[in-house]
Structure 1
Amino acid sequence: MARPDPITAPEALHPSLWLASQLARSASRCVDTGYAALSAQLPGGGWPVGALNELLLPQAGVGEMRLLQPALVRQKGPVVLVQPPQIPQTLALSALGLPPSRLIWVRSNPRSSDGLWAAEQILRSGSCGAVLLWHQHARGEHLRRLHLAAQSGDTLFCMLRPMSEAREASPAPLRLALEPVAGGVQIAFLKRRGPQRDEPLFLPLTPSLLQRRHAPLDRPASAPASAGSVLPVLVG
C-alpha cells in the first residue's frame, strides 16, 4: 500500500499561509517588543512594521507608553504622536529614552478627521520611525486607508482606540486589548495571525521613581505642531 505524501508546510506554498495551530511567520520586518513573554505570542516575534497595529484601551494612561517604549527606542527616526489625549510630558518621556529631539507632536481637532489624514500622509512619506495615533472612532474605510499607507513603508504604526471599538471590524492584523492590573497590564489577544488565545497575558510594568514623583509616563512631548505645518517638513 502506497504511503500518503507528506503534508507540505503551508509557508512553503506562500509566506502568508500558516496552520491554524501555529503562529504565522511575518512576511514583513518586526521590531522586538522588549518583553520576551509578549514577543513569544506575536507572529514574527515582535510588533510588525509596515502594518496597522491596534491597542484598545479602557482609558488613556493604562501602561501603553511603557509597553511600547522598548520598540520606540529601537526604531530609528522621529516618533510622531498624533492627537494624544494629554499634553506630552517631556521629562517623563525623556526618562523612557525618548528625548524631545526625537518627538513630534501633531495636534488636531479630535472630532474631525484631520488626525487620520495627517497620520496617513506621514506614513506614506516613510520619514518617521514610529507613528502613534489616538482616535476615538474611525470608520472602516479610514482604517483600510491607514493600513494601506502603513504598508508602503517600514514604520511602526500603532493606533490607540477605546475598548468599545473592539466589536468593530478592522483590517489590522494585530489587535490587543489592555487592562490595567496591579503591577502591570493584562493583554487580551483579540486578533493575531495564529491560533486564538483565550487566556490574557499578564505583563509586569514596574513604574519608575520618576513616574511616581513627577509626571505620568503614560500621558504622552515637544511643542505642538498643526497637521498642516508639520507635513511639508516630513514629506519633504
Structure 2
Amino acid sequence: MPASALSSISAAAQSVVAALPHALWRADQMGSYQGVVTASGHPSLDRELPNGGWPHSALIELLLQQAGCGEMRLLQPALMGIASQRRIVLLQPPHLPQIAAWDGAGLASGQLLWIKAARSADALWSAEQVLRNGSCGALLLWQSHVRGEALRRLHLAAQASDTLLWLLRPLSAAHESSPSPLRLALRPARNGVEIQLLKRKGPQHEQAFYLPLAATVAPATAPAVPPPSFAVPDHDTLDRHTPAAAGAGNIAPALV
C-alpha cells in the first residue's frame, strides 16, 4: 500500500479518535465513563477508579469475603450524598436494616426502602424494575448466585438508568466471568478494609491495598451536617421501630 494511502488512513483514524474519545481505550491507560460518577469519599480509592468515583449507569460488583467486612462503611460517603436527595433501595440484604444505625451514621432513614423477595428470580426482577423506574438514586442488591444471563440483564438495565447499582456477592464468584466494568474484592482488615481491583477500565492493579474506614465519615457529594441533638431524660427510652419490608411482588407504585 502506498505511503500516501497509509498516511490518509492514519489521519482518518486519529480524527475518529479525537471526535470519539470514549470509543478507544488503551489497556495501559486509565479509562473513562461517558456517564456521571459519584465520588467514593475515599481519595485513595477514587484515584484508582476511572473518572474518580463510582460510575452511574453501570453494574458495580463488590465481592465480599464475608458479609459485614466493611462494605457499608465503604459506601457510606456516597450513600450520604445520595440520600439527601433520592431514595436508597436495599434488596435482599443478609441482615435486617437497623434504622438507628443508619441515622447514627448520618444517613436519612426516611429515604431507605427495604425490599425482601422470596426467591432469587423475584429479587432480580425487582432490581430491574427499580432501575427502569429511575426514582431511586442507588440500589444495593445482595445475591449469592447469579447466572451470566441475569448479570447481562442487570448491566443492560443499569446502562439505561442513572441509578447507582452495587451488586454484592461472595468472594468465591471472583473467578466467574461478568459484564461488569468494575469489580472489587473486599476483605476485612483492622479498622478498615482490604481492596483488590479485580476489574476496571484501566491498567491492571495486581496488589491489594488497605483502606482505613472511620466509624462515621463525611458525605461525598454533600457538606457534612452535624446530627441533631436530642435531650432524652434518664428515665425514658427511645424506641425506634424497623419498618416493614416491601414484598418483591408488591413494590410501592412509585417504583413501578
State the TM-score bracket (shorter-chain normalisation).
0.7 to 0.9
Aligned to 1:233: 254
Are 2:247 and 1:223 aligned? no
Aligned to 1:211: none
Identical counterparts, % of pairs: 51
Structure 1: give runs of 5+ residues left out of the alignment. Answer: 209-220
Secondary structure at the residue paired with 2:155? helix
Structure 2: give runs of 5+ residues left out of the alignment. Answer: 1-6, 217-241
Secondary structure at the residue paired with 2:250? helix
Deviation at 1:18, TM superposition (A): 2.0
- The answer as to whether partners of 2:120 and 2:143 remain within 8 angstroms in 1 is no
Deviation at 1:97, TM superposition (A): 2.1
Secondary structure at the residue paired with 1:230? coil
CA distance in 2, matches of 1:229, 1:99: 23
Aligned to 1:18: 25
Deviation at 1:9, TM superposition (A): 9.5
Aligned to 2:228: none
Give the alignment's TM-score, normalised by structure 1.
Answer: 0.87
Secondary structure at the residue paired with 1:146? helix
Are 2:69 and 1:69 aligned? no
Runs of 4+ with deviation above 3 angstroms = 4-11
CA distance in 1, matches of 2:152, 2:24: 21
TM-superposition CA deviations, 1:93-130 (whole Å, max 9, x none): 11222222100000012x53111110111101111000
Which range moves more in the overlay, 16-25 or 129-138? 16-25
Aligned to 1:167: 175
CA distance in 2, matches of 1:138, 1:24: 27
Rg (Cα) greater in structure: 2
TM-superposition CA deviations, 1:65-100 (whole Å, max 9, x none): 110111111223100000100000111111222222
* Structure 1 residue corresponding to 2:161, chosen from 153, 175, 183: 153
* Structure 1 residue corresponding to 2:96, chosen from 70, 87, 90: 87
CA distance in 1, matches of 2:115, 2:158: 18
| CA root-mean-square deviation | 2.1
Deviation at 1:223, TM superposition (A): 2.6
Q: What letter is aligned with 1:19?
A: R
